[in-house]
Structures are given as C-alpha cells and as structure tokens.
C-alpha cells in the first residue's frame, strides 16, 4: 500500500465507532427500516438499496459536520 492509505477495514479513530453506530441506527429509524440497535448488526433482511440509503445519508451528514467544523461553527 502507498503511504497515507489505510488497511481495509481498519478504523482510523476507534473512539468514533459508538457515535457512528448511533448515527446508523438513527438514520435507519428515520427511514422506517426494521433494524434496531443491539440486533448484532444483522441487516440481511434489508435490500442493498436500503442499506445504501443509510450509508449515503451517513456520508452526507459527516460531510456537513466536517464543513461546519472547518467553517468554525
């Protein structure tokens, strides 16, 4: 791997995992998806499209958070 690249699956900030997990389930709830925190992350009953919607919304929110932080908000 080239310098600056991370190993696949390795989290850069371990402490962020609980917050990201909370965000994931909050978004899933807002989309009325039948998954709940503590369900051992089994999302096999959902379509790839629904899972992608959750992931896409997470990315949008993280970008907004980063932009706000950079803007000093």
Domain total for the chain? 1
Residue 29 lies in a domain: yes
Note the pLDDT of residue 39: 65
pLDDT digits (tens, 9 = 90+) for 11-64: 788 888 899 999 999 999 999 999 988 766 788 889 999 999 999 999 999 999
Burial of 1: CB neighbours in 10 Å, binned 0-12, 13-18, 19+: exposed
Residue 19 lies in a domain: yes
Residue 2 lies in a domain: no
Note the pLDDT of residue 27: 97
Read off the pLDDT band of 2 (50, 70, 90). low
pTM, to two decimals: 0.77
Look up the domain containing 63 and give its range. 14-34+46-70
Contact 26, 57 (CB under 8 A): no
Residue 28 lies in a domain: yes
Residue 40 lies in a domain: no
Distance set, CA 12 to CA 4, 6, 57, 60 (Å): 11, 8, 20, 19
């Amino acid at each position: 791997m080239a310098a600056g690249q991370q190993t696949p699956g390795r989290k850069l900030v371990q402490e962020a995992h609980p917050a990201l997990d909370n965000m994931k389930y909050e978004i899933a709830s807002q989309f009325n998806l039948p998954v709940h925190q503590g369900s051992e992350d089994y999302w096999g009953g959902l379509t790839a499209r629904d899972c992608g919607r959750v992931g896409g919304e997470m990315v949008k929110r993280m970008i907004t958070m980063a932009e706000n932080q950079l803007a000093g908000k």
